[in-house]
Structure 1
Amino acid sequence: MAITSANQLELLQTAEAVAREKMIDPSLVIEAMEESLARAAKSRYGAEMDIRVSIDRKTGRATFTRVRTVVEDDAVENYQAELTVKEAKQYKEDPQIGDEIVDEVPPVEMGRIAAQSAKQVILQKVREAERDRQYEEFKDRAGTIINGVVKREEYGNVIVDIGRGEAVLRRNEKIGRESYRPNDRIRVYIKDVRREPRGPQIFLSRTAPEFMAELFKMEVPEIYDGIIEIKAVARDPGSRAKIAVISYDSSIDPVGACVGMRGSRVQAVVNELQGEKIDIIPWNEDQPTFLVNALQPAEVTKVVLDEEAERIEVVVPDEQLSLAIGRRGQNVRLASQLTGLDIDIMTEEEESKRRQAEFAERTQLFMDTLDLDEFFAQLLVSEGFTNLEEVAYVDADELLVIDGVDSDTAGELQARARDHLEAINKKALERAAELGVDQSLVDFEGLTPQMVEALAEDGILSLEDFATCADWELAGGWTTVEGERVKDDGLLEKFDVSLEEAQDMVMTARVMLGWVDPTEMLAEDTGEDAEGEEGQAAEGDAAPSDDETATPAGSGA
């Protein structure tokens, strides 16, 4: 098949038709045709030749040219694509090394195989252009809601026609009870758009928490306008959800605005989510208060927050326990997702028993170590004393407020506590010495004899060993494994050593050993502020305006 004047215009018409059908630039189709014709010409004239084809965008005429590069006489390796300066003078008056000599060659006859190869090249280029166009169109639409039409279902995954492309609603992204037939209209959330070898993949979702947030944004104008903000969403898709909202206008109730007149706004979202029950909760910066709201409709009588462990204990009346936990733990699970805290729920009776057990344990401690009767030991516990260190080193006036305790009795109590602690310390140091602990670790400020013993039992025998420890190894911490928070026990955790204290001790040990230069540490801590001061000085020490704010440098672990 030769490209004659009779079918030159057909090339342009074909390119226009394909571009219109695939919604891509016609020039991309023509470029694909040029490449396919050049490949066919190479198979005719020789693969070593540099054959190029140019199709006139107005007439459709295809021009075949051979391109050869001018090289030095002794550098010719490919006689089909290179020529010497002497040979080039036949085509150009003053050829230079590196010049390209272009001369036209006759069009080629395309046999069946060549035509099929050209067709494959064109189809591949068109597909690539179509994929690029689809990716560019949808990459910025991730995180938005789109309407589509169900085309088919494959292995539980729903293929959705979204206008200028197809997207996938995976089986695990569908709400459990939902089933779809071809041509059903569907509203979905664009969760992710990725460029993959087989083309851009658009992944949809109806179970994502963001889908519910976007639905509320569509139904509640105050959210769209930014007057109300959705702070957190937790969902059990198809069953129940909790959404936390806050209003930046004191005259607007965030919960009431989301519910709407006679529940019209929230009902529209519920209908879209196949009857999913939605609890709308006012957000609060105070985590315990926010948690109390999140556990609604259950009533909470007491909240104890452990910020370091990101855990919270909640005490509820006995009759409210099942309501607080919810069916199959749903209510407490959603509240945990909403607040980002691990929640332990106990009844008032269970909490009372635990308090009694702690009271009895501390009472027994004082009876055994201070040689007190039960009544006197209970008095100490009732006044808030929890361990021997508090009794031994507290100001004597705090002991004098206890009924029946005078200055002599207070002095005797503290003497007994100190004697017992000294005995414990002596025993701990003897045990550490048996394990081979170095004196440098014993003398290190901040470590008690019991801490030294605990470190020695774990093989940390010198200051060098201590300086190699990580702060979390000493103070403990929490690690997230497969979505579950797992506790990492610290060597000094039982001595109530915080993460910050562990960091300070480890860095102090490294400075003492000369591993870290304290002046460099100071420069790192103050470097950001120093930069700011230099910048202000360069600007003539101008005072900041009223709307400028200073941001302190954050501290990292």
Structure 2
Amino acid sequence: MSKEILLVVEAVSNEKDVPKQVIFEAVEIALASAAKRRFEEDALIRVSIDQRTGDYMTYRQWNIVADEDYSNPAFELTIDDSEEQNLGLGIGEVYEEEVESEEFGRIAAQTAKQVIVQKVREAERAKMVALYAEKVGKLVHGQVKKVTRDSLIIDLGENAEASLPKDQLIARESFRMNDRIRALLLEIREDNRGAQLILSRNDPAFMVELFRLEVPEIAEEVIEIRGASRDPGLRAKIAVKTNDRRIDPIGACVGMRGARVQAVSNEMNGERVDIVLWDDNPAQLVINAMAPAEVDSIVIDEDAHSMDVAVKADNLAQAIGRNGQNVRLASSLTGWSLNVMTSEDAEAKQQEESQKLIDLFVSGLNIDDDLAIQMVEEGFASLEEVAYVPMEEMLDIDGFDEDLVNELRSRAKEALLNQALQAEEQLDGAKPAEDLLTMEGMDNHLALVLASMGVITMEDLAEQSVDELLDVEGMTEERAASLILTARAPWFTESE
């Protein structure tokens, strides 16, 4: 039997290219499983094989536990039992007793076979993960092995398989058995079946890697890809930057007679690719990304991280693109929220916002229209800026002297104080209901703020949405959701 074990281990190890140690462990588990049949169901059995001779010993094990933790005599001994039997073991240690070993017969061999198959699969998966871990985010090649309802199974060679979900395919493309395929290794996903290689052909990184393959300057890092966005199968944008001023990054990516970009487009099922010049200036980057549409002007809102992009009326449709495609891709590429409008609409919006500021300064600072207009033209956008902008900056404005600046700052601070007092009076006049005040997660100030908004009771709060509560200063989505859920708890109690 010892010789037979050594022969099995040698044969399986060579056939499956798995370390002998893995096979020995599988045989030990099989022999332990066979020996366990002679004992209680919960008995702990361990088999140890001498990997040099093939001889093996079988042991039954008991865990040493405290008296109060003792629950199963099949595999537990109390500390008192250990002391009575002079085992010399403490809590948490294991007592072993040699028992009769099972022969490596038919049943043990069948069990060993099952365990070996499982161990081999686990070893192959571990080997596969180690092999492909460094390839995540890179292109891989394979052959379609199987087509299921939800995915394609791709044979990558060397016993490695990957899954290409149908939702990771480019629109309108299909593959058949044995077709050659190229895809991005998106991730290594762990599930009940073990590690699984997940591929994608519609991720923007797929296009980036195709360009890296087709354009040597990118692989050599002479040209950098700084951003990419896709509407898979239809259109894409990619932003490039050169690290060598002698090289035109767009021309290099396009290639002679468009050969390079055409090769990428063909691999992506004819997807049209716009190559955009990267610019560290966000406004200029947006102008580049909006191509082929020409931009007349841009207004940046840093706080909202958005831009109003103005184009000529006859250029609006092209700027927006079919179903908003062009502006959506440009927004994704640049990371800015883009609002596209005609130059006329942009001018009207600007005038409307300017007039609001003029009216604010006229009423809040008690000044005439001319001075208010001048302040707006100088870039002032709030009473806070007037009150707290450094005096040196205000003195640089044509016609502003120290007396005028001090007066404007004083009036701005007084107006802000009056606004704060009015807000406090509003809160003082608000009377939240007792159930709202005592609700879990509520505090007095928040209850007063909500009451000033018309949210008086728990029932009122339960009818609110998260977005509505975000109007409260300092409110987060998590807290808003938690408060609303607490307020709605009585609904579910009543329904039960």
CA shift for structure 1 position 455: 4.5
1:227–1:459 Cα change, 3 Å: farther
Asked if the contact 2:31/2:102 (under 8 Å) is kept, the reply is no
Instruction: Look up the match of 2:298.
Output: 303
Asked if the contact 1:40/1:118 (under 8 Å) is kept, the reply is no
Aligned equivalents of 1:450 and 1:79: distance in 2?
A: 77
Aligned equivalents of 1:109 and 1:123: distance in 2?
A: 17
Asked if the contact 2:82/2:88 (under 8 Å) is kept, the reply is no
CA shift for structure 1 position 235: 0.7
CA shift for structure 1 position 38: 2.5
Aligned equivalents of 2:76 and 2:351: distance in 1?
A: 95
Instruction: Look up the match of 1:452.
Output: 421
CA shift for structure 1 position 221: 1.8
Candidates 32, 38, 44, aligned match of 1:38? 32
CA shift for structure 1 position 326: 0.9
1:469–1:290 Cα change, 3 Å: farther
CA shift for structure 1 position 136: 2.7
Instruction: Look up the match of 2:174.
Output: 179
Candidates 355, 373, 379, aligned match of 1:381? 373
Q: Identity percentage over the alignment?
A: 38
1:247–1:129 Cα change, 3 Å: same
TM-score of the aligned structures, taking structure 2 as reference length: 0.69
1:326 aligns with 2:324: no
TM-score of the aligned structures, taking structure 1 as reference length: 0.63
CA shift for structure 1 position 108: 3.1
CA shift for structure 1 position 149: 1.2
Instruction: Look up the match of 1:142.
Output: 136
1:22–1:365 Cα change, 3 Å: same
Asked if the contact 1:24/1:133 (under 8 Å) is kept, the reply is no
Aligned equivalents of 1:347 and 1:49: distance in 2?
A: 80
Instruction: Look up the match of 1:438.
Output: none
Give a deviation string over 1:97-154, Cα, whole Å, max 9, x none. Answer: 7998886846537465x55444433333333333333333323321111111111122
Instruction: Look up the match of 1:229.
Output: 224
Root-mean-square deviation (CA, aligned residues, Å) is 4.9
1:62–1:227 Cα change, 3 Å: same
Aligned equivalents of 2:248 and 2:138: distance in 1?
A: 26
1:203 aligns with 2:192: no
Give a deviation string over 1:198-249, Cα, whole Å, max 9, x none. Answer: 2112111111111111111122222112221111111111111111111112
AA aligned opposite 1:43: R
More deviation, 447-456/215-224: 447-456
Aligned equivalents of 1:103 and 1:488: distance in 2?
A: 69
AA aligned opposite 1:36: A
Asked if the contact 2:354/2:376 (under 8 Å) is kept, the reply is no
Instruction: Look up the match of 1:63.
Output: 56
Give a deviation string over 1:383-404, Cα, whole Å, max 9, x none. Answer: 74789969x9998997969xxx
Number of aligned pairs?
Answer: 423
Aligned equivalents of 2:26 and 2:37: distance in 1?
A: 17
Instruction: Look up the match of 1:260.
Output: 255
Aligned equivalents of 1:129 and 1:419: distance in 2?
A: 76
1:107–1:347 Cα change, 3 Å: closer
Instruction: Look up the match of 2:342.
Output: 347
Candidates 241, 249, 254, aligned match of 1:246? 241
Q: Unaligned stretches of 5+ in structure 1?
A: 72-76, 89-94, 402-406, 426-446, 471-484, 493-557
1:170 aligns with 2:162: no
Give a deviation string over 1:17-54, Cα, whole Å, max 9, x none. Answer: 43344442232112201221122123247778876545
Aligned equivalents of 1:358 and 1:120: distance in 2?
A: 75
More deviation, 354-363/281-290: 354-363
Q: Which has the larger radius of gyration?
A: 1
1:190 aligns with 2:185: yes
Candidates 86, 100, 125, aligned match of 2:119? 125
Candidates 321, 335, 339, aligned match of 2:330? 335
Aligned equivalents of 1:327 and 1:166: distance in 2?
A: 38
1:109–1:176 Cα change, 3 Å: closer
AA aligned opposite 1:457: Q
1:12–1:178 Cα change, 3 Å: farther
Instruction: Look up the match of 2:284.
Output: 289
Q: Unaligned stretches of 5+ in structure 2?
A: 65-71, 431-442, 450-466, 475-496
Q: What is the SS of the residue equivalent to 2:37?
A: helix
Aligned equivalents of 1:68 and 1:275: distance in 2?
A: 66
Candidates 301, 304, 307, aligned match of 1:312? 307
Q: What is the SS of the residue equivalent to 2:141?
A: strand
CA shift for structure 1 position 489: 4.0
1:210–1:460 Cα change, 3 Å: farther
More deviation, 330-339/115-124: 115-124
CA shift for structure 1 position 177: 1.3
Aligned equivalents of 2:173 and 2:395: distance in 1?
A: 71
Q: What is the SS of the residue equivalent to 1:448?
A: helix
Instruction: Look up the match of 1:155.
Output: 149
Q: What is the SS of the residue equivalent to 1:238?
A: coil
Asked if the contact 2:60/2:98 (under 8 Å) is kept, the reply is yes
AA aligned opposite 1:140: E
Give a deviation string over 1:336-359, Cα, whole Å, max 9, x none. Answer: 001111111111121233344456
CA shift for structure 1 position 321: 0.8
Q: What is the SS of the residue equivalent to 1:150?
A: strand
Matches within 5 A, 1:341-420: 341-358=336-353, 377=369, 381=373, 384=376
Asked if the contact 1:455/1:491 (under 8 Å) is kept, the reply is no
Give a deviation string over 1:392-432, Cα, whole Å, max 9, x none. Answer: 9998997969xxxxx9xx99xx99x999989x96xxxxxxx
Give a deviation string over 1:43-75, Cα, whole Å, max 9, x none. Answer: 24777887654545466x443444789x9xxxx
Asked if the contact 1:151/1:183 (under 8 Å) is kept, the reply is yes
AA aligned opposite 2:235: R
Give a deviation string over 1:274-300, Cα, whole Å, max 9, x none. Answer: 111111111111100111000011111
1:148–1:486 Cα change, 3 Å: farther
1:96–1:21 Cα change, 3 Å: same
Q: What is the SS of the residue equivalent to 2:230?
A: strand
Q: What is the SS of the residue equivalent to 1:162?
A: strand
AA aligned opposite 1:276: E
Asked if the contact 1:314/1:345 (under 8 Å) is kept, the reply is yes
Instruction: Look up the match of 1:475.
Output: none
Asked if the contact 2:49/2:57 (under 8 Å) is kept, the reply is no
